[in-house]
Amino acid sequence: MAPDVDAGAADPVPWWQEAVFYQIYPRSFADASGDGVGDLEGIRTHLDDLVWLGVDALWLSPFFPSPMADFGYDVADYCDVDPLFGSLATFDALVAEAHARGLRVIIDWVPNHTSIEHPWFLDAASSPTAEHRSWYVWRDPTPDGRPPNNWVAAFDLSAPAWTFHEPTGQWYLHLFEEAQPDLNWDEPAVEAAMHATLRFWLDRGVDGFRADVVHAIGKDPALPDDPPEHAGIPHCALNDVPVTHERLRAIRRLLEEYPGERMMVGEVYLLTTEAISTYYGDGDEAHLAFNFPALLAPWRADRWRACIEETARCLDPRGAWPTWVLSNHDNPRHRTRYDRSAARAGEDPATTARRSEARARAAAVLLCTLRGTPFLYQGEELGLADAEVPADRVVDPGGRDGCRAPLPWDAGEGHGWPTGDGVGPWLPLPPECGTRNRAAQRDDPASVLHLYRRLLGLRHATPALTHGALTLLEAPEGVLAYRRGDGPGACAVWINMTGDPVEVAGPGAGGVAVPGAGGTVLLASDDPDAGGPFTGRLGPDAAVVVQIQTSLQ
């Protein structure tokens, strides 16, 4: 049983603690130009849909000029918009209209590496004495011509994180693709230039940044080999050096120069919650950091209980606020992930088909009722699974095309995307678009879309779910249960992570009774009309939020 976690809600509470974020992958959200690729104008025209859903803030994945070797994470200009997506004027209109609707906007910021076509790197590669040579990480070959160390790159673990540059006779570092050379933050001019890129967008009104692999902007200047026991792990998941924290504190100070509580959520792709927690600093580094062990947890009550306990253990002493994510643009959607995990465990296809949506619905309740800030990934609210992408349509070097499939908007031929005359969506659409499209689900009160809308409405209307302490409750095997809040207004959340019905009535943590009878059902994942007394029975892969009677607390 986890200890009670103080809600830690100061008055006023920072907006990013109360907000529900919605990640938009611009290429796949909505296409206003008709070229088969989503764009900023497509996002602008659907802002009212996002307000209706109930989210508070948008995170826009990269839209900067780029040769698209890594679909925008190889930036060729930090201070402009790729014509594929629109223009600075389009961006400004999007931000202004989002703000007019009460939506905050944060954007991706890619501080660790640029494109090989960025003017800085083009100059750096022109000569060993070029002005920007020191802005990247260059090293001489070893005596036998090999790379300077044994670091391996992401995506291809058989490839070194180095590429030999024949014209200048040195290796350059790239923790990701060869087309994404790492910046050298040990060069003061690099830090100053990257701070200037932050100011450029802050001056245009953005509310903050999702900082891509921000833990990698500091590197041990000795560039030591990774230990043998970490063979097969990309260095980006191991890079954790003290100087990075100094650089994050400088970024935090920069953000605090601006009004409106500008913020940063760090993508800290390290292997443990404990390591990730250090990037909050003492409240002076990242405001939030993504917690990847939870993102990758399977649909099992014991594993989720352990994630919640570990998150509290690591973050609570720092006064750090958790994040919760089930899907994003880098990982299979959680519906697909849970189905694959079940198949590996021996679940037969018919059972998987029956349980698939129920699991996704119950997971929505989990995401939106944990203590912390939830991040939704576009299409999650439709219960989407990954698209099947044939070999001749694969474009992503990291094998992530399936989760990046375009969002279906309606039941028409192209589901909101162009068809005919050789023009179509840039990737195949996800499965079941005839019913898993936004128009159809908006018309169906029992849909996953309406479940998310009810969940977000309940979250915003219930202080216990926004700020309340979280206490794990004793529950039958395969069931995850926790109480949110203490005293009047407290709620209990029960999530059955098995394929069988269960009875969960009984005493709660610390001898405090929880509603096996008498509590009022506020929301159920499997019944849009649920209400009245909670009987203590949960269906297979079902979740329920219950208002606890005052007499039972």
Active-site amino acid positions: 212, 257
Spatial distance between the Cα atoms of 473 and 85, rounded to a whole number of angstroms: 48
CA atoms within 13 A on the CB side of 429: 24
Spatial distance between the Cα atoms of 514 and 501, rounded to a whole number of angstroms: 19
Closest CA to 207 of 73, 16, 18, 49: 16
* DSSP calls for 474-494: ---TTEEEEEESSSTT-EEEE
- Scored b (16 or more CB within 10 A) or e, 386-425 reads bbebeeeeeebbeebbbbbbbbbbeeeebbbbbeeeeeeb
Name residues whose C-beta falls within 8 Å of residue 268's C-beta, 6 or more positions apart in sequence: 214, 215, 275, 276, 279, 286, 289, 290
Cα–Cα distances (Å) from 317 to 73, 280, 282, 314, 320, in that order, read 34, 11, 10, 7, 8
Spatial distance between the Cα atoms of 342 and 350, rounded to a whole number of angstroms: 12
- Whether the ω angle into residue 12 lies within 30 degrees of 0, i.e. cis, is yes
Spatial distance between the Cα atoms of 154 and 237, rounded to a whole number of angstroms: 9
CB neighbours of residue 223 within 10 Å:
15
Task: Say if CB 96 and CB 205 are below 8 A apart.
Answer: yes
Name residues whose C-beta falls within 8 Å of residue 317's C-beta, 6 or more positions apart in sequence: none
Helices (H), 330-447: 334-344, 349-369, 438-442
Rg, C-alpha atoms of the chain: 24
